[in-house]
Amino acid sequence: MEPASPPPKADVGSPGPALELRGIDKRFGSVHANRAVSLSVARGSIHGLIGENGAGKSTLMNVVYGFHRADAGEIRVNGRLVEISRPRDSIEAGIGMVHQHFMLVDRFTVLENVVLGAEGGRRLGRGLNEAREGLERLGREYGLEVPLDAETGHLPVGMQQRVEILKALHHRADILILDEPTAVLTPAEADQLFRMLALLRDQGKTVILVTHKLREIMAITDRVTVMRQGAVVHETATRDTSPPALAEQMVGRSVLLRVEKGPARPGGVLLDVRDLEVRDRLGVARVKGVSLTLRAGEIVGVAGVSGNGQSELVEAISGITEPSGGSILLGGQEISRGDVGPRERRSRGIAHVPEDRLKMGVVGSFAAEDNVILGYQGRPQFNRGALMSRRAIRADCEAKMASYDVRPQNPGLRITAFSGGNQQKLVLAREIDCNPAVLIVGQPTRGVDIGAIEFIHRRLIALRDAGKAVLVISVELDEIMGLSDRILVMAGGEIVGEIPGAGATEEAIGLLMAGVKGEPRP
């Protein structure tokens, strides 16, 4: 197909929106994901689409891109009504999408990935050569230089994202949709991305930025649309609004963005990790000689771009994987050797809220009550002899739902029917209620709505104030800075710096995350 039919080129500067949605309605079974959504995106602008998880942003964008078909409503591109029932239709209409999880073939070169779907005829060679010229020109124009012959899987994430953007531009996209593009980037890479997007806008492209981060909306967009419960609730020029005002629109009530906490009163060392080394299945070291201590009554945050060894560190401490070197002392006792698995560690007082809830923290097909005993199913309070006590399990779940304000308060409901925030509250309730000495929390508020974030943060601080040790691993710098009494920064499997929580700045952490070594740790 490709170069033959360029989409109707918009004359830059002409009035009228580049993309217009009218009354888009979409249901999934009983879930009303989009309720008569209308949205108008001006040509040559960056338009932010913000909302909590489950607000319907992704559904809306998937409708525009042709992954889902709307039950009702119409889509107009440059004023022309278009019928989009599959991604090919939207590509032909000049819409490109960069997904949160990249849709690239790792084993292909950058060039091959970009050409995929627009090979230009049967003979690949000629198409590739033409594409190479085109890409080099695009790269120069937009500052999107990428090594075209490198194997894509070997490139850093920021670069892979660039490949996705290039791919969209190569497919002649005039409207570029980016879904949570900064989730995998360091602050510096995010800044670079934003400069690139600004350049694209100035060249007349239209950018739609889907995000839940208020800071990004404020930093880069021209207009912003807020969605809540499947509907558009607010639309404004970005310069006329503020983060608290947007947050209030997202949640429907005013929220506390900043965590309030008193000073920490650290006690004795509870967890002492020394020279820990963890290798993956292929024998590659993922954690390289990490040492850290965790005291009673403090929250230590581990910042870093995801994939720099944080997950492996957590799994080694919680007993899921066996470290290849170093030691882990809990209250002075070695736990990393011998048969001290996750169950034994739990009973010795290490609780763990995993970073990926659905992959590890819960069993998606089980009811809430059956998830609230996960890891504790052998405890005497849930069993009467050989049989489990359904009554005790239900009562326990009901109590946890009440004290953690989980809604709906229905222990028999499948866990995946709860919102991300309520799922996380249940996991947190499970891990905190067994009264652990040390709590390890990976991504405490990933996929959690703003209202629940506040609640979860307050719980963690309460746990600290009760004299427990809390280790928080997060890729959200705001969260790390808001919660932590001390901040450790991980990069390349090592701890590259430590900063006191009070007075930490994003710049200082960002520099360390990017691999610029700070002062040597004390």
Report yes or no: 313 and 287 within 8 Å, Cβ to Cβ.
yes
Q: Which is nearer to other proteins, 195 or 390 (CB)?
A: 390
Closer Cβ to other proteins, 238 or 318, answer by number:
318
Dist. CA 469–CA 486, nearest whole Å: 12
CA–CA distance from 468 to each of 240, 262, 435 (Å)?
A: 43, 15, 9
Output the smallest distance, CB 386 to other proteins, in A: 6
With CB under 8 A as the contact rule, the residue among 85, 203, 291, 365 that binds other proteins is 365
From the CB of 383, what's the least distance to other proteins, in Å?
6
Among 128, 360, 413, 514, binds other proteins (CB under 8 A): 360
Cβ nearer to other proteins, comparing 239 with 343: 343
Burial of 330 (0-12, 13-18, 19+ CB in 10 A): buried
For position 377 contacting other proteins by CB under 8 A, the verdict is yes
- State which residue, 89 or 222, has the beta carbon closest to other proteins: 89
Question: What is the smallest separation between the CB atom of 345 and other proteins, expressed in angstroms?
Answer: 8
CA separation for the pair 436, 16 (Å, rounded): 59
Tell me if 236 contacts other proteins by CB under 8 A: no
User: Nearest approach, Cβ of 365 to other proteins (angstroms)?
Assistant: 5
Q: Which of 366, 394, 395, 451 binds other proteins (CB under 8 A)?
A: 366
Rounded alpha-carbon distances, angstroms, from residue 352 to 32, 319, 380: 34, 10, 21
Told to check if 518 binds other proteins by CB under 8 A, we report no
Per CB under 8 A, the segment of 175-183, 341-349, 432-440, 461-469 that binds other proteins is 341-349
Helix (H, G, I), strand (E, B) or coil at 442: strand
Given 179, 370, 396, 479, the residue binding other proteins (CB under 8 A) = 370
Closest listed residue to residue 41, CA positions, set 172, 175, 214, 241: 175
Residues 6+ apart with CB under 8 A from 509: 187, 303, 477, 480, 481, 487, 489, 499
* 375 binds other proteins, rule: CB under 8 A: yes
> How many chain residues interact with other proteins (CB under 8 A)?
36
Does position 102 interact with other proteins (CB under 8 A)? The reply is no
Alpha-carbon distance of 15 to 122, in angstroms, equals: 40
The neighbour count for residue 86, using CB atoms within 10 Å, is: 11
Question: Does the footprint of other proteins cover residue 361 (CB under 8 A)?
Answer: yes
Q: Tell which residue, 99, 100, 88, 69, has the closest CA to residue 172.
A: 88
395 sits near other proteins (criterion: CB under 8 A): no
* Closest approach of other proteins to the CB of residue 98, in Å: 17
Backbone angles phi, psi at 222, to 5 degrees: -95, -45
Q: Which CB atom, from 53 or from 383, has the smaller least distance to other proteins?
A: 383
Convert residues 304-333 into a mask of x (bound to other proteins by CB under 8 A) and - (unbound). --------------xxx-------------
> What residues numbered 253-272 form the site for other proteins, per CB under 8 A?
none
DSSP-derived letter for residue 357 is I
Q: Which stretch binds other proteins (CB under 8 A): 271-279, 361-369, 453-461, 497-505?
A: 361-369
Distance CA 186, CA 125 (A): 36
Smallest distance from other proteins to CB 170, Å: 23
By CB under 8 A, name the one of 122, 338, 386, 503 that touches other proteins. Answer: 386
* CA–CA separation, 454 and 53 (whole Å): 15
| Interatomic CA distance for residues 110 and 128, integer angstroms | 11
Question: What is d(CA 64, CA 307) in angstroms, rounded to the nearest whole number?
Answer: 31
Q: Is 243 in the site for other proteins (CB under 8 A)?
A: no
**Would you say 34 or 182 has its CB closer to other proteins?**
34
CB of 378 to other proteins, least distance (A): 5
Query: Of residues 243, 344, 408, 435, which one binds other proteins by CB under 8 A?
Result: 344
When asked if residue 174 is in the footprint of other proteins (CB under 8 A), the reply is no
Q: What residues have CB less than 8 Å from 440, skipping those under 6 apart?
A: 314, 317, 318, 350, 351, 352, 353, 470, 471, 473
Q: Of 71 and 478, which has the nearer Cβ to other proteins?
A: 71
Distance CA 179, CA 390 (A): 42
Measured from the CB atom, the residue of 5 and 30 that comes closer to other proteins is: 30
With CB under 8 A as the contact rule, the residue among 68, 162, 201, 425 that binds other proteins is 68
Query: Least distance from C-beta 318 to other proteins, angstroms?
Result: 8
359 touches other proteins (CB under 8 A): yes
Type and span of the H or E element at 81: strand 80-82
Half-sphere exposure of 63 (CA within 13 A, CB side): 31
Pairing of strands 206-211, 46-51: parallel
Residues that bind other proteins (CB under 8 A): 28-30, 62, 67-68, 318-320, 341-344, 346, 352, 354, 359-366, 370, 373-375, 377-378, 382-383, 386-388, 390
